[in-house]
Amino acid sequence: MRESLERLFQIRARGSSPGRELIAGLTTFLTMCYVLFAHPAVLGNAGMPRQSVFFATCVASAFGCFLMGYLANYPVALAPAMGHNVFFAITVCNILGFTWQQALTANLLAGLFFLATSRVGIREHVLASVPPPLRFAIAAGIGMLIAFLGLQWGHIVEADPHVLVRRASLANPIACSTLTGLLVSALLLALRLPGALIAGIAASTLVLWSQGLVDFSTLRRPFSFAVPTETILRFDFPGLFGSMEAIGRGLAVLAVFLMLDMFDTVGTLLGLSHAAGLLRGDHLPRAREALTADAAATVVGCCLGTSTITSYVESSAGIAVGGRTGLTAWVVGTCFLATLFLAPVAGIVGAPVTVDGRVYYPAIAPILILVGAVMATGLREVRWTDPTEGIPAFLTLLVMMCSFSITDGIGWGYVSYCVLKLIRRERQPASLYAVAGLFAVYFFVLELIA
């Protein structure tokens, strides 16, 4: 067994051991397993059955981890992307009015496109053509958007007729639960302890239970296994592209899914590979194999009933304790499969709580806020003292959060960046102006149909 693992993963050649890889895999899983509770809650806002999403999350994540370990031999785990799921549920389904079946269809097409093109290096070339300030601002903007959603779900802020939003009373039980989870997770993160986010979920849930807002008496069988089929292969191609108006809106949604997956995956892989010492100069060996695993996991995930699967930055926790090979990813995948038996628990923890006719997710809200903070770390790379870079980055952040539209934020960033660079007569790639032009047309069409 040991020899087989060595042949498959080259463990000794990378300065590791099976025991160290096992610890690294468990550490990574504890750091990222919050997604098992947060993701079904987010997609539940689109009307998707939470138990089916939980099943799809476990299986698709495990598939991605196994494929990443086998093809690329990287200690990188995969799971549904936070931020992508918010775009899927809130923007595409709730705001734009698509059904979750149509959103899954667009997500599937994006995954198939990347699966077909991952072997020829298109993703790396396209990413390289995106200006760095916009690249960092897009990731941070998505983080700010989901953090703002977390403030709403945790009843930290509420609607106001004069200034649109204001601080809510922090004495209400929903806010108390959110702040408790936020404090617990933040303290554990500060101490660099694994499982910080899942501990926050547990703390929030206990506060809700003490307030009578969570009923564990319904949990008669905490461990059981079933294969829910409500979301498997539930695509709607005619609904997504059934008319001229639908075609335009469907292509716009598809374009954003493509852009989000492109930025997240390549950027995360480069950062994690640098931390694991796998980079060769600026070159990432077996990058195409890693991108193929990522794209294939997205396709499988959509077929099962979940949004984009991507490489997780939380893999850095396992890398920090010595994970260097694909065996770490395999351990994470095995843990995801094992948690299939916890579906009844997931049905209660992270479930929506209704107070005074409003629906909240206080157990999940702290996670969204803290994930948003992590996603904003790239802002330190923006040259804020240069107006031609700082202003587009700021507009990307501001518009994305305030309009609750990832597409609009990216569009404002692209158009403003190109306009300011033109004014200063700094030459940019033609592809950059082409994308900015498309966004300008997009905004013009929106005004015509408004």
CA atoms within 13 A on the CB side of 241: 9
Q: What pLDDT, in 10s, does the model give residues 405-437? A: 777 888 899 999 999 999 999 988 887 888 888
More confident residue, 243 or 146: 146
Q: What pLDDT, in 10s, does the model give residues 160-190? A: 888 888 999 888 899 999 999 999 999 998 9
Residue type at position 143: G
Tokens, residue 225: 């296994």
Contact 213, 363 (CB under 8 A): no
pLDDT at 180: 95
**Quick one: CA dihedral 327, 333, 337, 338, positive or negative?**
positive
Average pLDDT over residues 289-304: 93
Quick check: helix, strand or coil at residue 318? helix
pLDDT reading at 328 higher than 80: yes
pTM: 0.79
Contact 323, 20 (CB under 8 A): yes
CA 399 to chain centre: 19
Residue type at position 383: R
Closest alpha carbon to 345 in 173, 220, 168, 207: 220
Average pLDDT over residues 19-32: 88
Closest alpha carbon to 296 in 42, 66, 9: 66
Question: What is the four-CA torsion angle of 89, 91, 94, 96, rounded to 10 degrees?
Answer: -130
